[in-house]
Structure 1
Amino acid sequence: MFDKERFIHDCVGAVADGQGAIRELVAEVVSQGGAIMAELGEPRRAGINALYRSKDLTIINFVWAPCMSLMPHNHQMFSVVGIYSGREDNVFWRRAGGSIEAVGAKSLGVGDVTALERDAIHSVLNPIGKMTCAIHVYGGDFFAPPEPRSLWEHETLVEQPWDVEKVKALFEEAEARFNGWEQ
């Protein structure tokens, strides 16, 4: 059974051992997708739901609205992503001149885990018509990183400073769009 408090405790203890140790913990819990859903509840809204936050570690339950897309961005810290419901497609980017270019992709389904290095740039898409739920664990404070983060506009790929409030608004807009389609 998934126990949120136990998972947090285990991640706090493992963060000093690095990304590999966190990846093992995330892989173990997302293999029990239904148990996570039972503990955290059926998603009611898309959003960024912090389960734990400190300067060394952030654990987030991401709920992606159906057909939602998040622009390219970086984290400036390692991250581990595990899917427990739905699907998350990642496009990986690299800096090229004054912009970025796509260099790869990875599609994650239930039980899949991926690890991103601290300098990774990626965009995220929920390509399906239902909510996608994922546990993301970061090796630092996701909401107030010690180094400035960036995002790149979808259309122009122009780099801008990371704005967590803008990203939260995108989750709300994506959900509102989906709810409008359902009616």
Structure 2
Amino acid sequence: MMFNKDDFIQDCIKAVAEGQEAVRELVAEAVSDSSRVISELGEPEHAGIAPLYRSPELTIINFTWAPCMSLMPHNHQMFAVIGIYSGREDNIFWRRTDASIEAFGAKSLGAHEVVTLDHSMIHSVLNPIGKMTSAIHVYGGDFFAPDIPRSGWDHETLAEQPWDIEQVKTLFREADERFSLYAKSQR
């Protein structure tokens, strides 16, 4: 069975009404064969956030992480299903304390693996390898304009701050530029 972006979107629209587990099954099937996803979405060449679908109930994003890129702890305020179709993604899971947050677990995902996060989960993400990592992320709401404001935490101080999607887009752009400069210097 070939991965088809439009069919996947329509299936996710139907599945979101059934809940996170139904979405997880679709994402797991989609990333079970990386070549199918890459054939439809293209070979990852640049780090970035590429929305495939967005509505108040559902957002589907093709994320591509630059090599050795990290993203600060953050929450989503909605469920998330993350399926890796190339590369590796390391997640650290955090929980709130009286003063800040503390790490309490981790999960490393490789190609064909899926993780589900509930609406209250806080996580940070690292691409620990020297090549691009690509994943399909499906959210149970509008990732870019959630009903409940999101938070991010400073990498160093772990101080909570309002989530700023433009700052995150800048982080992806800067990581992509660093990787491009590095790749050129290696030729």
Which deviations, in whole Å up to 9, do the C-alpha atoms of 1:127-166 show, x marking residues without a partner? 0000000000000000000000000010010000000000
Q: Which residue of 2 aligns with 1:180?
A: 181
* Residues 45 and 132 in structure 2, CA contact (< 8 A), matched pair in contact too: no
SS in structure 2 of the partner of residue 144 of structure 1 = coil
Q: Which residue of 2 aligns with 1:159?
A: 160
Amino acid across the alignment from 2:96: R
SS in structure 2 of the partner of residue 106 of structure 1 = strand
Q: CA deviation at 1:180?
A: 2.0
Dislocated runs of 4+, deviation >2 Å = none
Structure 1: which 5+ residue stretches go unaligned?
none
Q: Which residue of 2 aligns with 1:7?
A: 8
Measure, in 1, the Cα distance between the counterparts of 2:133 and 2:45.
11
Measure, in 1, the Cα distance between the counterparts of 2:133 and 2:58.
23
In the alignment, is residue 140 of structure 1 matched against residue 141 of structure 2? yes
SS in structure 2 of the partner of residue 173 of structure 1 = helix
Matches within 5 A, 1:16-31: 16-31=17-32
**Identical-pair percentage:** 69
SS in structure 1 of the partner of residue 17 of structure 2 = helix
Q: Which residue of 2 aligns with 1:66?
A: 67
SS in structure 2 of the partner of residue 11 of structure 1 = helix
Q: CA deviation at 1:98?
A: 1.8
Measure, in 1, the Cα distance between the counterparts of 2:46 and 2:175.
10
Measure, in 1, the Cα distance between the counterparts of 2:161 and 2:130.
30
How big is the alpha-carbon RMSD for the aligned residues of Structure 1 and Structure 2? 0.6
Which deviations, in whole Å up to 9, do the C-alpha atoms of 1:7-60 show, x marking residues without a partner? 000000010000000000000010011100000011121000000000000000
Measure, in 1, the Cα distance between the counterparts of 2:10 and 2:116.
20
Amino acid across the alignment from 1:87: R
SS in structure 2 of the partner of residue 17 of structure 1 = coil
Q: CA deviation at 1:177?
A: 1.4
Q: Which residue of 1 aligns with 2:130?
A: 129
Q: Which residue of 1 aligns with 2:98?
A: 97
Q: Which residue of 2 aligns with 1:111?
A: 112
Amino acid across the alignment from 2:160: E
Measure, in 2, the Cα distance between the counterparts of 1:27 and 1:40.
16
Aligned residues: 183
